Amino acid sequence: MNNAADLCLFKRQGAYIPRVAAVHDLCGYGKCSLGVAIPVLSAAGCDVCPVPTSLFSAHTRFPTFYMHDTTDMLAGYLDAWVEEGIVLDAVYSGFLGAPEQVGAIQRLYREHPGALRVVDPVMGDGGMRYPTYTPELCEAMAALVDGADLLTPNLTEASILTGIPYRGQDVDEAFVRENVDALVDMGAKVVVVKGIVHEGEDVIRNYVAGANVAFEEVSGELLPYMLHGTGDLYCSGLLAAVMAGRSLRDAVEFAGSFVRDAMQITCEQPDFEVRGVSFETQLGKVAALLG
């Protein structure tokens, strides 16, 4: 059994710049998804190759938004990558626009069998599915658990994937272990469960475990407000640290502190409740991961 502090999911080789396919949506306003993944992973010295799963005028916390589903273009898009002989070091997926898009991710897995598989199953929060997520799409997302090198659900998403009833954010370790065990049984190799909060505490807890990784809590400061896009920023920061060659434990700790620092900057901005988490001035911390 490995400890998270001893486990590196990616070995950085000298001056080589790893190539990461980021399979997410793109929002015109409201920082999340590709708008977060591209700059954060780029700051970590990665060549980010976007695969847009849908285009939004703004994120789904806004009462009015336009969505364009990109499913029909994905086959031709990836065909062109094959023609160019593109080689990927990681495939990082997040918000999807349709059940058929799971097939595009699985195609990337087949065509790049050595690539790290990172799945952020962006489906909901607070016990509720996001409005564009149908039962069919949620069921399709579950297929990405099998073989995921790194899976990063919150408790809502863990519930949707496993069928274990959601019990809120204030749960004990035994319940988290139950969810992790179920996800490992579904085929995930390493799971990071995000956002456990006990009433009356100013601590947010994340848990990391896996088939061959010991169960461990990594906690940080809980701020007294919530922001849209923090899940995307967390997973992008986590992957940035992984791709920089940091241990899993260090990556989980970095992601939590990176999100906290960005949230503190965000609350000083106008309309901060909806505009998305302001991470831009913190990107130097990501670049510093490269040492």
Neighbouring residues of 174: CB distance < 8 A, sequence distance ≥ 6: none
Per-residue pLDDT of the chain (291 residues; tens, 9 = 90+): 889 999 999 999 999 999 999 999 999 998 899 999 999 999 999 999 999 999 999 887 788 888 899 999 999 999 999 999 999 999 999 989 899 999 999 999 999 999 999 999 999 999 999 888 899 999 999 999 999 999 999 999 999 999 999 999 999 999 999 999 999 999 999 999 999 999 999 999 999 999 999 999 999 999 998 888 899 999 999 999 999 999 999 999 999 999 999 999 999 998 888 888 999 999 999 999 998
* Residue 239 pLDDT: 98
Neighbouring residues of 148: CB distance < 8 A, sequence distance ≥ 6: 117, 118, 119, 187, 188, 189, 190
Tokens of 174: 């035994």
* Residue 115 pLDDT: 98
In three-state form (DSSP H/G/I as H, E/B as E, the rest C), the secondary structure along 164-177 is CCCCCCCCCHHHHH
* Residue 272 pLDDT: 83
Cα–Cα distance, 284 to 40 (Å, whole number): 10
User: Contact 120/161 with Cβ under 8 angstroms?
Assistant: no
pTM of the predicted model, to two decimals?
Answer: 0.96
* Residue 137 pLDDT: 93
